[in-house]
Amino acid sequence: MKRFSMLLLLTALLSALLLSGCAGGADKNGENDLPAPSSSEPETPEAGNEAGGAGILSDFTATDLEGNSVDSSIFADYDLTMVNVWATYCGPCLREMPDLGELADEYEDRGVRVVGLVIDTLNADGSINPEQVETARAIVDSTGADYLHILPSADLMGVVYQISSVPTTFFVDSTGAQVGSAYLGSKDKEDWAAIIDALLPEVQK
C-alpha cells in the first residue's frame, strides 16, 4: 500500500511539474511556506514540528547521484543546510547552480552546506531512471555544482509532492527541522548569501 501511494504521489507530482514548467524567478518576496505555499507573510511551517518533535527531514533514507546511501545524518555536522530542489529540464535551476556551487565552498567553514534534490530521476513505477541520473550527473559536472545531490525516495515523497515548481529552496538545521520559509524560483549568489547570513544566527544561538 505504501509503494502504491508513493506511485500515485509521484505521478501527480511529475504531471503537475510538466504542466506548469519551472519557476523562472521568485515572486515579490520569493518566500513561501513549505509544505503549504502561501502568498501571505511567511511563517515557520507546521511540518517542521511533527509528532515527537521530528523535523521535515529528520528521518529519511535515500541515495545520491552516485548510488550511495544517505540519510538524515547528512545534516548533523552543519548548523544550516540549504536544500535546493531542482530538475534537469529546468533552465533557471541550471543557471543558478554555478552560484550554489560557489556558496557551498565559501560557506562550508561557517557550518553551512548545500544539498540538491533532483526530482525528475524516477520512472513512473518509482524506480530510478539511469539515463536521467546520468543527465543529472553531466549537469552537475558542467555547472560546478559538486555538492551532494540526492534522489527522491519513498521517505521524501511527503516533501517532494508539495513542491509546486522548481527550483524551490528551503533550509534545515542540524536535526533536519526546517528553518524559515521556502523560496520559490532562482536567485543570484548575492541574494542567497544575504538569506544565509540572516538565517545563520537563528541556528547558532
Q: What is the pLDDT of residues 100-153, one digit of tens each?
A: 999 999 999 999 999 999 999 999 888 999 999 999 999 999 999 999 999 999
Give CA–CA dist 19/113, Å, rounded.
32
Could you tell me which residues are beta bridge partners of residue 178? 172
Q: Give 35's pLDDT tier (boundaries 50, 70, 90).
A: very low
The average confidence (pLDDT) of the chain is 82
Q: Give 30's pLDDT tier (boundaries 50, 70, 90).
A: low
pLDDT above 70 coverage of the chain, percent: 74
Q: Are 179 and 56 in contact (CB under 8 A)?
A: no
Three-state DSSP at 114 gives strand
β-pairing verdict for 112-118 and 148-150: parallel
Give CA–CA dist 115/101, Å, rounded.
10
Q: Give 190's pLDDT tier (boundaries 50, 70, 90).
A: very high
- From the list 82, 22, 87, the residue with the least C-alpha distance to 57 is 82
Contacts of 92 (CB under 8 A, 6+ apart): 22, 23, 24, 25, 167, 185, 186
Residue 46 has pLDDT above 50, yes or no: no
Q: Give 53's pLDDT tier (boundaries 50, 70, 90).
A: very low
What pLDDT, on a 0 to 100 scale, did the predictor assign at position 162?
Answer: 84
- From the list 117, 93, 114, 116, the residue with the least C-alpha distance to 104 is 114
Comparing 159 with 32, the larger pLDDT belongs to 159
What pLDDT, on a 0 to 100 scale, did the predictor assign at position 161?
Answer: 86
Tens digits of residue pLDDT in 54-99: 688 999 999 999 999 999 999 999 999 999 999 999 999 999 999 9
